[in-house]
Each structure stands twice: as C-alpha cells, then as structure tokens.
Amino acid sequence: MEVSRIKPTRIRTKYMRALAGAITLVLLIGVSFYFYTNEQQRKLDSELSELKLKTDTILSLSDTLYDFVFRARGYYVFQSNTDLEQLKLDLKEFDVRLQEFSSLKLTSEDRTASEDLRAFYNDYTTNLLPKAIGYAEAKDFDALRELLESGANQIVYDFMDYTSNFKENSDNRLNQVIDDSIKQSNQFTIIAILFSMVILLLLGGLFWRLLRSLITPILELEAATKSLAAGQEVPITLTNRSDELGRLNDSFIEMTHSIQIKEEELMMQNEELQAQQEELQAQQAQLQHSLTEIESIMKALDQSSAVAILNEHGVFTYTNERLTAFTQFKSSALLGKPYKIIKIRDSSLKALKELEERVAKGGVWNIEMELERQDGSAIWFDLTVVPYLNEHGEVYKYILIGNDITSNKAIQKELAESLQQTEKTMDILKNHNLLNHEITYTLNKQDLVEKFNHFINELHSFDSSLFMIVRETIYSSRGIPQEVIERYVNHSSNDMLDRLAQEKTYIVQRKASNAELGISTLSVDCYDLYTAVTDTKDNVVALFCATRIGRVYEEEEIEAIQGLMKRVSLAVERIEMVEDIEMAHKLNQDIVNNVNEGIQFVDSNGTMTNNNQALSEIIMCKEWGEGKGIPIDQWIHDISDQCSSAPELEEFFRMALSQECEESSSTQYSIGNDTKRYIDVYATPVVRRGARIGTLFVHRNITKEHELDVMKSELVSTVSHELRTPLSSVLGFTELLLSKPLKPERQKKYLETIHKEALRLTNLINDFLDLQRMESGKQSYDIETFALNRIAMEVIDQYKVGTKRNVLLIDEAKFVDVDVDKMRIVQVFTNLISNGIKFSHEDGDVKVRMYNVQDKIVVRIEDKGLGIAKEQIDILFQKFRRVDNSTSRKVGGTGLGLAICKEIIEKHHGRIGIESVEGEGTSAWFELPLRSPKNAPEDDIGVLIDGDNENIQNVMIVEDDSSLSLLLSEELKAKGFRVTHHYNAQKAFEEALTVRFVGIVVDIMLGDELDGWDLIRMLKNDVRTEKVPIVISSALDKSDENLQEFSINKYLTKPYPPGELSKVFIEIINITEPSGDILFPDNIEDEG
C-alpha cells in the first residue's frame, strides 16, 4: 500500500483539481465570451453609431445641399441678399458637413460621392455659383439655366440619389445591423446556454465519476462487512487504488484477515480448551482414583510404618500407633510437642542436620537415624520426610514416615565385615595377579627384578630389601648399602646360598645397627627375612632378603612372600626361554642373511613369512621388511612387476606353491629395468612331520654367468665371422683360379691375396689362441731380467730397414731393468709400434719415449696419426675391436693385438692404456715395475719426476749400432739427460731443428743414403744448429776429405771405454758457451 502513502488525499485533491479546473475553465470561457460579446456589441454599436453618424451627416449634407441649392435657386430668382448670405452660410455649413463626412469611414462609393461632392462643391463655389450669381445678377437666365442644366446639377442629383440610396442603404444597414445584433445576441444566448449545458454535463459527469468511485468501493465494503458480519467468505480483493478509499479497502482487508486469523486462533484455542477440559476431566477421574488408592495405601502405611505429621514449626500434629510402638512415645506425649523431643543419637546428628536443611528447602529426604526411645534404648530408624509446600513455596506441613531397621542394621554390619574380609582376600589375589601381569609382560630381567621389588615393597613394606637373580647377578635393592650387595654379587656368599638352598626360607633376628636405628635412642630388634627360589636341581635361582626394623614377620606374610617368589621364578624361567629362542632365531636370521642367495619362505597360505637380505637386494622391493608376512598376490606381483617374463614366472610360483607339487623345481628369469639381473630360482616344499608347512624359494644371481655365456656366444660368433671372411676369399680365389684360365698377372694377384689371407687367418688363430691361453692363466711366462731400452731398440731396429717411417727412441729412463718375458714384451712393442705406424700418416714418425716414474718405467709410443674418438678408446682393448673407421679398414690386423698386449702387460703387473685426440694423434703407453727398485735415488730427483720434464737436457745419438748407442745412452741417462736415438740423418737433422739438443753424438757410418758427414754439414750450415757441440763416435779415416771441411778436434783415443766418451761429452755440454765443437776419438796409432 505504498502508493497510498505517496498521495494520501487523492480523491479530494483529484476532485478539487477537477473542480478548480472546471471553474477556471468556465470563468475563462465566460470572461472571454463576455469580452467577445462585448466586443461584438461594441462593434455593432460603433458600427451603428457610425452608420448613424454617416446617415446624419449625409442627411445633413443632403439637407444642406438642398438648402443651398434651393437657396441658390431662390437667390437666382429673388436675388435677395439675405439669401446670398444665407447661401454662403449654407455653403459653409455644407463645407463643414462635407469635411465631416469625408472624415468618416467611407466606402469607396461614399468616397467617390464625397469627392464628387467636394469637386462639385468646389466647382460650385468657385465656378458655378459665381457664374450663376453673375448670370443671375446679370439677369442672364438663359445662361443661368444652361449653366444649371449643364450638368452641374447633375452632381446634385446624383448626390441626391446617392443620398437617398445611402439613406435607404443606411436604413437597411441599420436594420441589418440591428437584426445582426439581435441574431448575434441570440447566438450568444444559445452558445451560452449550450456552454452551460456542457459545463453542467461535465460537472455531472465528474460528479458521477466521483460518486462511482466512491460509491462502488463503499458498496463493496458494505457487502464485505455484511458478509464478514455473517461470518461468510469476504469477497473483497486488494485494489490498486492509492487514495483514501483504497487505503480503507486495504485496511479493511487487513482487518478481515486479522479477524479471520483471530477467529481461527480462537477456534483452535477453543478446541484446545475443550481438549484440556477433557483431559482435566480425565485427570480428575484419575485423581479420584488415585485418591482412593492413596487412601488405601495410607491405611496400609498406617498399619505398617510409623507416620507422623508435623506442622510448619515442626510440632507433631498427628502420630500413629506404629510410631508409638517404635519409639515408646505415646501420641499424647508427642502431640503438640516439637520433633526434637525424640532424641537423636550422636551418630546421626550430622544426618539430622542435613535432613533439616534439605527439608527446609522443600525436598523430600530419606535418612537412617539412630534414635532413642523413651526408655533410652537405641533403635535405627529409616525416616522419610515429605514437606508440603503451599502456593507461595513455603512449607506448611511435614509428613514423616519411618521404619524400624535396627535388625537390618545389625545384619548390614555383619555383611560389611565379611565383605571387608572378602575384599582383603581379593586384594591379595589382585596383587598376585598384578604382579603376574607386570612380570608376564617383562622380557627384560632387570625390569623384572625392579618391578618385583617395587611390588613386594608396596605390598608388604620392608625397611630394606634385596631381590636378586643369582646366576646373572641382576638385582634390585632398596635401602641396602652397596658393599652388602657386593657380598652376594661376588659369590663369596656361597655359604649363604647353600643355606638358602637348604632351608629355602629363614629369618634372622638381630639387634638393629646404628644406621638402622636412625634417630631412635632405644635399641630395637631387626628381623631379616631370607627366602629363595630354587630350580629342579636345587640351585638357587633367585633370592629375596628383606629387613624389618622392629617388626616381626607374620606367618601369613612369609607364606605370601614365598608364593610371590615362586611366581617370579616362573617368570624368570620364561624370560630365559624367550631369550634362548630369540638367540636361536637371530642366529638363524644371521645365517640366512649372510647367504648370497635370496631366500624366501612361503607358508601354506601362500603368504611370504620370511625373506632375507639377499632377496631384498635381488628383488629391490621396499615394502618387504623382515618379519612381515606378505600376502601371496602382493609378493608375486612385486617380483613379476620387474620381470620381463612375468606370466611364466607367476605360473612357476603358483605351481611350486600348489599342494600337488611335491618335488623341487626351478626356472630362470631376468629382473630389473635399468640393470638386468639374471636369476635362477629354485623351489622346494618344506615338510614337517609329514605335513606341508610351506615352500622355500632360493634365488641365485647368475648374472655374471649369464654375461659370460653371452660374451662367449658373442665371441664365438665374432670369431667365426672373422674366420669366415679370409676363408671365403681363400676358397673363392682358389676356385676362380681352378675354374678358368687366367692371365699370369691375375693369377699372381690372386695367389698373393690367397697367401695374404691365409696368413691373416693363421695370425688370427694364433693370436686368438694366445689370448685364450693368457686369459685362462695357462700361459707361462719366461721371466728374466732385461733392460727395457735394449728390447725397445731391438724392435726399433726392425723398422730401420724397409719402411719409410722413422721410429725413434727418446729415452730418459735412468732405470731400465725389468723382469719380463722378453718375447712377450717384444710382442707388445711390435704391436704398439706397428699400430702407430698403421694409424699415422705415410711419413709420420713414431716416437717411443721411456721414462721413470717412481719405481716404474713408462713407455709411450706416440704417433701423429688419425687419432681415435674418445668413445672408441674404451673398447679398443676388447677382442676384435678395431677402430671403426672406414679409412682404417684398409690397415688390416687381427683386432686382437691390443687385447693381447693388455693381457701381457697386466700379467707383468703393469698397466697399459691409450690416449688420443682425434685428428691429432695417439699415444699408447704402458708401464712396468722396475726390477727391485734400487737405492731410491734421493740425490737424483730427475727419476722421481714425471718423464716430461722440461728442464731435462736433450742429447741426440745418431747411431746405427744399437748396442753402442745403448751404452752411451746409459751413461748419459745416468747423468740425467734425455737421450733421443736416431738412425736416419735426415730425420735427425729435422729433429735437431725442432728440439734443442745440448749435444749430438754422430756415427759417421749410417746405413742410409746420408751419412754422418752429411748430417754434420747440415747441422753446421744451419744457424739454428751450428752451435750445438757434436761428438763423433766412430773412428775417422784420416784421409777423409771431410776432415778438412770442418775443424775437428780430436779428443779421445780409441779404444776408449764408452764412459770416457760420455765424460768428454758431458764436459763439452757443460761449457757455458757452446761453441759447436766437433770432437772425435782418434786412433791410438795416430798419437804419435
């Protein structure tokens, strides 16, 4: 109903407004109408007046005109001056009138007439009249007549007509105007009437609407009210009206609603009330019934119990016979007296107090009280007090009901006593049980003794006590000094134990010691209890000693304690058993865990109950712990999850577990994703006393064997392949040779190929057999002491001839003696050097370096060849592995070489390896232990440093004779030089250019195209090398022309011990200013 709030007095305002509007309208219209009619009237009036004026004017004009015309005429006739004067006056008047006329509103006709008239006048006055007068005076009447008839008078006549016309017109006009005026006023009247009618209609309509809008809802409301009054449905709805009636409507509706609701409520209440009333009636009936019951109960009560009624002050107002019987107070003695008259025994005073309190508050209370009868004897009374409260909550009556319970009480007391007794016994039992419980759950002996001691102290209370398990001297004590305990611990107490064993229990009575007396001044006796538990062999298992100061031990106590001791000994035995079992179990577990194979035990349900460490390592399953039972599906799943052949494995397990399977079975599987392990699993049923209790699975890791197998079969296939290839070519070419005639060159080529391949085959087989022999350890090595550099030189010697390559030895190893099988080492050298040659460029050098590192000698064979990729270095030492490079395919070889070298070196307790940078070169090295490293050279640091010492001075020996050069090199190495052996002059020279040599030993007799002289020449001719001192090692032929070429100093005489040469050499070298001396040993005979 918000709308109504916005415009609360809408009806009124509405109609006010309407009314105001109407009135305004009416006024407006009326006023305008009025003005209009006024206007019209005015207009008409003015027109009328104008017309009148005009008419008058015209009339007067005409009159005047007539006047003067006739006067003129008169004059003409009579020629009276007065007439002339009057004529002039008339003319003047005419003039005036004419002016008046012309100043009026004129129509065009009028104007014309006026102008004509004026013209006429003018003409008349100026022209005609004077003329006429003239004529008249002249008595020229003819001329006068002519003049008058000339038409001058026409105007007059015209005007006369005009005037009469005008008059007519004017009259008509006047009439018309009057008619119009009347008509108009009639019209206006009609309009006014119509208008008023319209207004009236409007007003009527408004009024009607008003009425309607007022009446209809009112009627509705009336109807609604009527029906509401009649109690029927109210046919009214909410309206959208927002005005007073609307609000009235809405309020009415609300009212009806609320009335309806209230009616409903009232009805409900009415119903409720009715229901309640019915209830009440029922209750009343019940009450009645109860009342009758109560009455009967009361009667019964009265007969059985003591009943008394007190008033609010606690004064007896009623007592019954039973009360008298109980208390011996007659009712007469009680009535009117307060209840306190009956005395309460002391024991019940408190109860009484409580009772009074409770009851005062209005609560029903029941207590047992001891009362005094009239004769003073006591009875026990069960008393119930019921206070009655009035409507204000105050007590106005007390009902007392009581019963004699004296005999009951006595019985109660007896029962209580026996209950106490029982409880005591129960306690004891409970204690025993408690002890049992405590010690049953103890697996720890120390714990046990503590608990027991504690327990027994709690139970029996001793002043000091000791409980000990004898065999292991585990004990618990209270209040006993350590040295006393020691007596027992140290087994010096065997006597005591003996006595205990015999007597089991005994008590010693003695005087208390000072410590025990404490603050007491009197002396007191102490009682020491000793009791022991023995095993079947009468050995003391445990003992208990306790002291009581001044208190005796009762028989019962002693028995109780003994009972407890027995219990404890049982517990101790149990613990020991458990310990034994655990030990055994642990031992088992340790054994099982230390085994290499994985072991699992599966019970008859398939649950895995035991598994060992090794198995966890194989299966790698985190969830398997020790001692957990793992259900069958889980463990099978755990294993087969990691296996490749899961279904077969699972099948195997289930078969092995089944009851039908009575024999062992085995299978193999592979497990693991990253690293495959091969396992052989063996299953066997476990039977105990004829019944199958489970199955045992043993998993053995056969990965290594498997790998070996794999390797072996790989090897076999590789070998067979390697063999087949040369074989194919041998067979093939042979067949070709046999099949058809061929050209001799072709034949030769084929035969060469066959030969080569056959050789290859042979080498392959030899190498392979060698390797196999070496690997299986059946190879015997013939170990002797050799100088490694000598061996190296021997091998290098082979390369002097034939090959374009240069193999040189760069030696700085001071210690070269090794214990080796020479042939094998030669094999190693050959292999490595030939590899170097194979894999290097056509004219590349192969350098063999030797140097000492600590107590070893290291040999490096370097080439500047193709180099080897890093990934391939690792596999080089494997059998048949060749560097997988298309260009190197051409170089042939068996692929076993390095494997053999490795085998040999390692069997000599050395190491071997390869370093390479792809594209730059390779360096194959091996090291061997020196023969009993002699006097660790502290004075010669050079040995301990790694071979590639920059500070070592380089000496070159260019010598054909390897034994000599070796000799020399020994000497030089001993002095700490690095010796490079060359045998080719050209190469030697080239090296001299790149490496700084402090001295060069040259043998003239070099087997090559260039001899020593050529080398010397080359050296001297080059500014880089001319200063290098040279020593010639061979004897010179004096006749040699080269002697002239160079200034050569003889310095040595042959024969000379090589040591001399080296000494000289060294001296030369050590000269600070090397001057490039050339020295040579001269023959003695020259020494003149």
Partner 1 sequence: MRKLLIVDDEEILRMLISDTLEDLDVHIELAEDGKVALDKLQQSEYDLMILDYMMPQLTGMEVLERLPVDLKKRMPILMLTAKAQEADRMKALEAGASYFIPKPFSPLELLQVVEEILVDGGE
Nearest approach in angstroms of CB 625 to partner 1 is 46
Task: By CB under 8 A, tell whether 733 contacts partner 1.
Answer: yes
Considering only residues 887 to 916 of the shown chain, the ones binding partner 1 according to CB under 8 A are: 889-890
Binding segment for partner 1 among 10-18, 573-581, 730-738, 936-944 (CB under 8 A)? 730-738
Interface residue with partner 1 among 237, 675, 886, 1039 (CB under 8 A) is 886
DSSP H or E segment with residue 694: strand 691-701
Q: Please state the closest distance from residue 949 (CB atom) to partner 1, in A.
A: 42
User: In 3D, which of 356, 352, 385 has the Cα closest to residue 369?
Assistant: 352
Contact 1000, 955 (CB under 8 A): yes
Name the residue nearer to partner 1 (CB basis): 750 or 1046: 750
Residue 869 lies near partner 1 (rule: CB under 8 A): no
Region near partner 1 per CB under 8 A, out of 8-16, 623-631, 720-728, 799-807: 720-728
Q: What is the nearest approach in angstroms of partner 1 to the Cβ of residue 717?
A: 8
Distances (CA, A) of 409 to 348, 406, 421: 14, 5, 18
Binding-site member from 254, 264, 427, 735 for partner 1 (CB under 8 A): 735
Contact (Cβ atoms closer than 8 angstroms) between residue 236 and residue 220:
yes
Phi/psi class of residue 606: alpha, beta or left (left: φ > 0; alpha: ψ in -120 to 50)? left
Does residue number 762 form part of the binding site for partner 1 (CB under 8 A)?
Answer: no
Q: Is 52 in the site for partner 1 (CB under 8 A)?
A: no
**DSSP code, position 1084:** G
> Interface with partner 1 includes 485 (CB under 8 A)?
no
Which of helix, strand or coil describes residue 973? Answer: helix
Q: Is 729 in the site for partner 1 (CB under 8 A)?
A: yes
| Amino acid letter, 947 | G
Cβ 778 to partner 1 shortest distance, Å: 29
Residue 883 CB, shortest distance to partner 1, in Å, is 10
**What one-character-per-residue DSSP string does 1025-1036 give?**
TTTS-EEE-S--
518: left (phi over 0), alpha (psi -120 to 50) or beta: left
Binding residue for partner 1 (CB under 8 A) from 9, 175, 720, 1049? 720
Quote the DSSP letter at residue 310. E
Of the two residues 616 and 763, which places its CB atom closer to partner 1 in the complex? Answer: 763
Whose Cβ is closer to partner 1: residue 884's or residue 948's?
A: 884
Q: Which of 513, 728, 766, 785 binds partner 1 (CB under 8 A)?
A: 728
The alpha carbons of the chain give a radius of gyration, in whole angstroms, of 81
Told to check if 963 binds partner 1 by CB under 8 A, we report: no
Q: Contact with partner 1 (CB under 8 A): which of 83, 243, 450, 757? A: 757
Closest approach of Cβ 722 to partner 1, in Å? 9
Question: Hunting for tokens 């410590």 — which residue is that?
Answer: 515
If phi over 0 gives left and psi between -120 and 50 gives alpha, with beta otherwise, what is residue 889? alpha
Task: Assess 884 for contact with partner 1 (CB under 8 A).
Answer: yes
Nearest to partner 1 of 761, 928 (CB atom): 761
Q: Which stretch binds partner 1 (CB under 8 A): 283-291, 415-423, 885-893, 1030-1038?
A: 885-893
Cβ proximity to partner 1, 42 vs 889, nearer residue = 889
- Bridge pairing between strands 474-478 and 464-469: antiparallel
Find the shortest distance in angstroms from Cβ 796 to partner 1: 30
Q: Is 731 in the site for partner 1 (CB under 8 A)?
A: yes
Q: What are phi and psi of 442, to 5 degrees?
A: -95, 130
DSSP-H helix ranges across 908-1057: 941-944, 962-974, 985-994, 1012-1021, 1042-1045
Q: Determine if 753 is a binding residue for partner 1 (CB under 8 A).
A: yes
CA distance 114 to 102: 6
Nearer to partner 1, 491 or 746 (CB): 746
CB of 1058 to partner 1, least distance (A): 50
- From the list 378-386, 542-550, 717-725, 929-937, the region that binds partner 1 by CB under 8 A is 717-725
Q: Which is nearer to partner 1, 891 or 1010 (CB)?
A: 891
Q: How far is the CB of 893 from partner 1 (least distance, A)?
A: 13
- Residue count, binding to partner 1 (CB under 8 A): 20
Least gap, CB of 903 to partner 1 (angstroms)? 25
Q: Rounded to 5 degrees, what are φ and ψ at 1039?
A: -80, 0
Tell me which DSSP letter residue 740 carries. S
742: left (phi over 0), alpha (psi -120 to 50) or beta: beta
CB of 72 or CB of 868, closer to partner 1: 868
The nearer residue to partner 1, 366 or 728, going by C-beta atoms, is 728
Q: How far is the CB of 757 from partner 1 (least distance, A)?
A: 7
Minimal distance in Å, beta carbon 758 to partner 1?
A: 12
Q: What are phi and psi of 381, to 5 degrees?
A: -120, 130
Pairing of strands 846-853, 807-811: parallel
Mutual angle of helices 822-839 and 788-800, in 10-degree steps: 50
| CB-nearer residue toward partner 1: 737 or 787 | 737
Provide the minimum distance between the beta carbon of 716 and partner 1 in the complex, in angstroms, as a whole number.
12
Distance CA 154, CA 312 (A): 156
CB of 887 or CB of 1047, closer to partner 1: 887
954, β-bridge pairs: 978, 997
Nearest residue (CB) to partner 1, 369 versus 754: 754
The three-point CA angle 248-249-253 to 5° equals: 115
Judged by CB, which is closer to partner 1: 622, or 740?
A: 740
Residue 724 in contact with partner 1, rule: CB under 8 A: yes
Cβ nearer to partner 1, comparing 431 with 753: 753
> What residues form DSSP beta bridges with 957?
981, 1001
713 binds partner 1 (CB under 8 A): no
- Give, as one character, the DSSP assignment of residue 128: I
**CB under 8 A: which stretch of 177-185, 511-519, 563-571, 728-736 binds partner 1?**
728-736
Q: Which of 258, 725, 762, 963 binds partner 1 (CB under 8 A)?
A: 725
- DSSP strand pairing (846-853 vs 911-917): unpaired
Q: Which is nearer to partner 1, 257 or 889 (CB)?
A: 889
- The crossing angle, in degrees rounded to 10, of helices 744-775 and 897-907 is 30
Which residue, 222 or 735, has its beta carbon nearer to partner 1? 735
| Residue 523 in contact with partner 1, rule: CB under 8 A | no
Of 158-166, 181-189, 735-743, 853-861, the window that binds partner 1 (rule: CB under 8 A) is: 735-743
CA atoms within 13 A of residue 703's CA, in its CB half-sphere: 10
Least distance CB 947 / partner 1 (angstroms)? 37
Residue whose CB is less far from partner 1, 122 or 720: 720
Candidates 820, 760, 759; CA nearest to 789 is: 820
Pick the closer one to partner 1 by CB: 73 or 756. Answer: 756
Taking contact as CB under 8 A, which single stretch among the options 97-105, 719-727, 799-807, 1003-1011 is the one that binds partner 1? 719-727
Rounded to a whole number of angstroms, the minimum distance from the CB of residue 759 to partner 1 is: 13
Laid out side by side, the sheet with 665-671 consists of: 608-611, 598-603, 691-701, 677-688, 665-671
| Contact (CB, 8 A) for 468 and 474 | yes
**Residue 850 CB contacts under 8 Å (≥ 6 apart), including other chains:** 788, 789, 792, 809, 810, 811, 812, 813, 816, 857, 858, 859, 860, 947
Binding site for partner 1 (CB under 8 A): 720-721, 724-729, 731-733, 735-736, 739, 753, 757, 884, 886, 889-890
